[in-house]
Amino acid sequence: MDVLYFAWVRERIGLPKETIDTSAVTVADLVEELRAREERYAMAFSDISALRVALDQELSEFDAPLDGVREVAFFPPMTGG
Amino acid sequence: MDIRVQSDTFDLGHEAQVFAQRQQGMGAVVTFSGIVRDNDQTLQAMEIEQYPGMTLSQLQSFSAQARDRFSLGDVLVIHRHGRLKPGDIIMMVATSAPHRVDAFQAAEFLMDYLKSRAPFWKREIAKDGSATWVDAKSSDEDLLDRW
């Protein structure tokens, strides 16, 4: 699946998008997998209460299942307007 | 509904005028616009990042919800992204309704959702070159509870 990062999450991880092969069942499982990869991921995901997640471009929750999802995006709380 | 996400600037007066003129049977038009602010004269630029695709679908979804909730004629939303300077226009919302209460409330509803649920992120670049991501305000998040 495609994993996208925006704003300071993108800056900390150092890339806007990557394709990942994962067997993670939920978003939280995917976060655990990413955290274990490298320090920069651990930094970006150190406090998930400061993050939001979208699944296939719909806002979602960290306990949501990833079954059938093609695009996951992680980002800080939005500041539009 | 007319929903646009763009990097180019736009003419607030012209957009408001065109929007008002194409309404039929609407007694009220409300417009709101957001401008890049520089309170202490230290801001060089504001950069607005977006999630392409999702921004447009979210704005369309909020506008559809506003039309379900309020007695509305039409909705216009224009939101810019990219690098903006102090004093530049960031976005506008216009609503039309038979009566003013619905037009005002729908504009506030759209703004509250746009602030906290549309995937835009603002970064301020100071004159000394340092950059800071703008934090979301809990007061903005709290405003969603009123709807």
Average pLDDT over residues B78-95: 98
Residue B70 has pLDDT above 90, yes or no: yes
pLDDT band at B39 (very low <50, low <70, confident <90, very high): confident
d(Cα B140, Cα B40) in Å, to the nearest integer? 22
Looking at the DSSP assignment, which residues form a beta bridge with residue B83?
A: B47
ipTM of this predicted complex?
Answer: 0.95
Residue contacts between A and B (CB atoms, under 8 Å): 63
Quick: pLDDT tens for A2-21. 999 999 999 999 999 999 99
pTM assigned to the model: 0.95
Task: Scan residues 37-76 of B and list those with Cβ closer than 8 Å to A.
Answer: 49, 51, 53-54, 57
Calculate how close chain A gets to B69, using CA atoms only, in Å: 21
Quick: pLDDT tens for A40-64. 999 999 999 999 999 999 999 999 9
Task: Give B111's contacts in chain A (Cβ within 8 Å).
Answer: 81
What confidence score (pLDDT) does residue A77 get? 97
C-beta atoms of B135 and A79 within 8 A: yes
Other beta carbons within 10 angstroms of residue A21's beta carbon come to 5
* Closest-approach residue (CA) in chain B for A73: B51
pLDDT band at B40 (very low <50, low <70, confident <90, very high): confident
Candidates B90, B59, B91; CA nearest to A57 is B59
Does B11 lie at the interface with A, CB-CB under 8 angstroms? no
Does A7 lie at the interface with B, CB-CB under 8 angstroms? yes
Quick: pLDDT tens for B119-145. 999 999 999 999 999 999 999 999 999
